[in-house]
Structure 1
Amino acid sequence: MTSTTQLQGSVAIITGGSRGLGRYCAEQLASQGCKVVMVGINPQSVADAQLQLQSKNLDVIGKVADVADPVAMDRLVVELGELANPQILINSAGVMSAKMTKTLRTSNDEWHRVLGINLDGVFNSVSRFAPSMVEQRYGRIINLSACLGRFTGPGLLGGLAPYRISKTGVNALTKNLAAELQFGARNVLVDAVCPGHIQTDMGGETAPRTVAQGADTVLWLATRAQTDQTGLLWEDREVVPY
């Protein structure tokens, strides 16, 4: 994390921000002076997270929106007003597909459910919040990916088809957007992170990594100084191949 002074007055928008890694990032950034907008799909979860963090005197607000729904995201932008111009955007909303779902056994409903949130959701978010970063010539965009979406290592080996493919798409979106912004908006950085198998509702309490371990690289990227490194996939603060 960076200093409180550097984050004071900054705005961060976090999708999937009311639970798991997103909520952890919300608390950490808010504790450093950032105003945080936590976006979630479950009204009760959003309300609970907002109440819990505000009880710690943290500057957070919760907003209910389905990242897979472009109309809902347009509505969110209107509701946020000036807060829709963030310095930090963390796209952590995501769902898992059934464990053994293979490509040819995936229903259309399951395909669209998973890719709608995991991939369309990232596009719906960056397409609405990144333009203001370009205008202000500053922004840090971090997209939550997964090692299962890589073409190397434990990547495309079959099974979990919608999930793996959605994360491969997130990687491609990250790299493409970073390339588009690299010369026109030098201080807008776009990266993807493999947080690992972490102890969240999706990962389960027996997962080998804590939420703090999974979030470390996300928070580091969200607060780092200007660099030519952008459009990369990171794991534990190290660049890994796509």
Structure 2
Amino acid sequence: MEPEPELYDALDGQVALVTGANRGIGREIATRLTDLGATVYAGTRSASNDVPGGTRSALLDVTQEGDVEATVDGIFEETGRLDVLVNNAGVGEFDDSLVAEPTTRIDRTLAVNLRGPMLLCKHALPLLLQREGGRVVNVSSGMGALAEPQRGGSPSYRVSKTGLNGLTAYLHGEYGDRGLLANSVCPGWVRTDMGGENASRSIEEGAATPVWLCRFEPGSPAGLFWRDRRVIDW
């Protein structure tokens, strides 16, 4: 049986930080969380990037610890709380084998997709743990699932998402008994700049399960990997 979460109908009074929120899945997540009543900080690498209406723009390059620390400190100074962290920012280039993939691309992919979320959690955990039911939603990929065949190129992207799932499992093991709800989610193959125009899913479909996870009430399932609101294998 699938675990049954209790869901917030609205997020009034709650605060969320979404990384990579100026486009694609992150933008849609930020928009929907705003519609649910949350105060949403939309992380973006450039001050010139447009963010969804009703959100607060946060200058945030997840590879720069100074940006991460300043963003989290700013949220605390302005609101005194953080209820939801969505680690959505990601990069990926595909098809090359490990032999062919440039080392610069490996370094960049791991820095954005894995090191960045670890830094966000490192600095955001004190706020997330202030209240029972703080949520971390890590936007992962089935390409990083060890239960699926790891072939077809894209080595640094695959390994970065496997590592991101490892971060989710660690957060649950270390902080789950303190009320933290950490989950990974595969949005599927989505028509974003990264996924391309031939992808099978719309941005709205890709954002649906991440937003659903953001609505989990304290005591809901955690430490799991989800796709389409169902648990999948790591």
Whether these two folds match at TM > 0.5 is yes
CA distance in 2, matches of 1:201, 1:43: 20
CA distance in 2, matches of 1:85, 1:201: 32
Q: Which moved more, 1:140-149 or 1:228-237?
A: 228-237
Q: Determine if the alignment matches structure 1 residue 201 to structure 2 residue 201.
A: no
Distance 1:84 1:201, change over 3 A: farther
- Residue 40 of structure 1 corresponds to 44
- Residue 51 of structure 2 corresponds to 49
- Residue 67 of structure 1 corresponds to 62
Question: Which of 77, 81, 92 pairs up with 2:88?
Answer: 92
CA positional deviation for 1:102: 1.6
Structure 1 segments (4+ residues) deviating >6 Å = none
- Residue 175 of structure 1 corresponds to 169
CA distance in 2, matches of 1:62, 1:238: 32
CA distance in 2, matches of 1:136, 1:70: 25
- Residue 9 of structure 2 corresponds to 3
- Residue 21 of structure 1 corresponds to 25
SS at match of 2:40: strand
Trace 1:133-152 onto structure 2 (pairs within 5 A): 133-152=128-147
- Residue 116 of structure 1 corresponds to 111
- RMSD across aligned C-alpha pairs, in angstroms? 1.6
Work out whether residues 77 and 84 of structure 1, in 8 Å CA contact, stay in contact via their aligned partners in 2.
no
- Residue 166 of structure 1 corresponds to 160
Work out whether residues 133 and 218 of structure 2, in 8 Å CA contact, stay in contact via their aligned partners in 1.
no
CA distance in 2, matches of 1:208, 1:158: 18
TM-score by length of 2: 0.91
Distance 1:130 1:33, change over 3 A: same
Residue identity in the other structure for 2:81: N
Residue identity in the other structure for 2:9: S
Trace 1:208-223 onto structure 2 (pairs within 5 A): 208-223=200-215
CA distance in 2, matches of 1:118, 1:202: 13
Q: Percent identity?
A: 32
Residue identity in the other structure for 1:34: A
Q: Name the one with the larger helix percent.
A: 1
For this pair of structures, how many residues does the alignment match?
227
TM-score by length of 1: 0.88
